[in-house]
Amino acid sequence: MIYTLIIHNAPYQSATAGTALRFAKATLAAGHSIHRVFFYRDGVYTANTLTAPPRDEQNIPALWQQLAQEHQLDMVVCIAAAVRRGVLDEHEAKRYEKTAHNLAEGFELSGLGQLVEASIVSDRVVTFGGPQ
Distance CA 88, CA 109 (A): 8
Sign of the Cα torsion 58, 100, 74, 119 reads: positive
Catalytic residue flag (residue 112): no
Cα separation, 48 vs 30, whole angstroms: 29
Residue tagged active-site, from 17, 21, 78, 104? 78
The helix-helix angle for 16-29 and 60-71 (nearest 10°) equals 20
Catalytic residues: 78
